[in-house]
Structure 1
Amino acid sequence: MRRAWVVNTMPEHWDHCINGPSNTEDHSNIHIGEPWHGIPTGGRAPDPELLEPGDLLIVRESGEGVRGIWTFAEARHVEDQTILPEDWRWHGDTKRDYDWIIYCRGQPEQEFDQIMREEWHESPDIAPQSLTGTAKNKPSIIEAYIEALLEHDLSGSTKDLLRTVNPEKPTAARGGTSTTAETNHPRGGESWTRDDFLVTLDLYLDDPEIEKRQNDDRVKKLADLMGRSVGSISSRLGNFRALDPNTDSGMENVGEPAQEIWDEYFGNEEELAREAEFAWERLKAGIIVDEKPGTESTGTGGEVSTGETTSTTTQRIGQGDFRKQVRDRYDDTCVLCDVDEPGLLQAGHILDWSEFEDARGDPANGLLLCYTHHRAFDLNMFTLSRDYEIAVRPGLKTESVFINQTILNREGESVTFPNAPPSTEYLEIHNERIGWLSAEE
């Protein structure tokens, strides 16, 4: 396993960095024309002797984004400042001496055709101020950068190389005894699977503001489930916030997979919640299904291409707030039982969102139900009358104690609501469509 570092460059120094040294009197022939970098005196960077030949350097330009991926070759202590380009030593209005030169090789990607722009200021782990200096090796930073890079159009060999990175942080200098701590992120740096995206999007739509709260227990729980860092989860939540038409902020550099999963499920949170539940169980069991967004699970580990979504994002504007408004309306408790764990609750539509466009985002068209009761409602096992009494489908029988106690044995019982009740108009339309509840009831 190789290691990776994020290397920060100044825009005015880029040409020097990418073109490398040219004077054979001061630099070895093997370094001429190859990219290089330097550590200024007093610069905030780790001991360069922690770098090892073969380490990958993810090279970013301040204020722009990632510009290349190089391979570290050699570190050299600077004893004579004249071996450096004169204008390279200027940092704004300040002229600085350098302690170290970092010689590199321009593989696998000396310079990208297009800068991979970034808005890391939205991420608590990848803020620009944490990247001042030369090389940073914080695992959460490395993981997030690699995950973002793997979503771009890089060569297969470059992606394979990135997947070999071990994000653990070195604690001993080269040649010393390694005391590297165990990583708690066994999947750090791996590409995100469909299941990863499903559970993260479900969390975001459950609470769009969670992207701003990295210390939220739900973010930590999800990171543990996925074997990734909290910073990685926060970055992905920021991606979804950038895609949300109901917000005006979030991380850029979203990537195609995040866009695809968003287009597939935004506005159809009921289906997402069901799929996310199955994804959660697979991840909990350690089952990593190598499916990418844009495919649907057949339930057997195979893939079925879904192609383009039939509903556009424009049609779905306003749906992102639906679940939150319904949750608030029902005080985060299932209308039929006492389940109040947010992860087990779903905001169900009384009138199908795909058929009744005007009612899509209306919280009066919502019922907050646990998974079981939501599924029972969708299967027309029960409904609510215009007087909010529980009505059970004729002939329904079950051996389920839970269903009997919460539905069948309560037929005719009036349901109370903590706040505004659902629309009687929507309920009447729904009941007319299911066909077995008379208009008088």
Structure 2
Amino acid sequence: MASGKRWTRDELLVALNLYHKLTFGQMDARTPVIIALAQKLGRTPGSVAMKLCNLASLDPALKLRGIKGLAGASDLDRSMWQEFHENLNEAAPASEEAMRKLIGARETDTMEVVPGKGFQVRKRPLDEVTEKTALVKQRRGQDYFRNSVVNNFGGRCGVTQLAIRELLIASHILPWGTHPSERLNVRNGLCLSRLHDAAFDQGLIAFDEELRMVLSPKLKAALSQRTVAENFGAYERVPLILPADSALPETAFLAEHRAKIFRKK
């Protein structure tokens, strides 16, 4: 298995896709999904893990958390990083498609990266199989965003720590429709349970500059209801929980959500 060959642009596109679906501590040669990708690329797990750690040195979100990565990033690494993030709405779906082809997922399959298990490929629901070709790129982008955000939160709801992936939503802080440039930005995402996602989307909850949950007056008025008290009252002023090596949600985006979407009455 090759371990010293140069990385190509196509390989780096796939590496960037996986990079955003792992936390820094998971960029290890023993992580099952890295082992699985290395086999597909004809590389060693150590080579893939090192490349991910090289990319981490270019990540401003990790620098905010005091994480430096490895200092061996190549000129091509830097160039690809810049291209990928300057045109995320095109690059992320392209990377998702490249990853799917490498793994062997069919057009009618869903593919998800679960760090501790590897790649999980499942049949897509029938109502999604017949989608038009024009929607495929949008679907790939949505798949990329969901997987990246859920994994950035350690596969758990940031509020309740619910760890059943089928009940988790990758919530956009700034709405998809009004902020196209941030649609696929992992720092524009929160991993929430379906209930808390709906409350966030409707402006019934928000998160302050310290990531603590804030309840709207409408929810506070309903705290006498057991369900509201248990699902919202119990978490008021409690900060979101993320892994220590993940990318934090962008506080400027949360501030805009509080200003424009959060219900203050």
TM-score (norm 1): 0.31
Higher relative contact order (CA 8 A, sep 6+): 2
Larger helix share, 1 or 2: 2
Larger strand share, 1 or 2: 1
TM-score (norm 2): 0.49
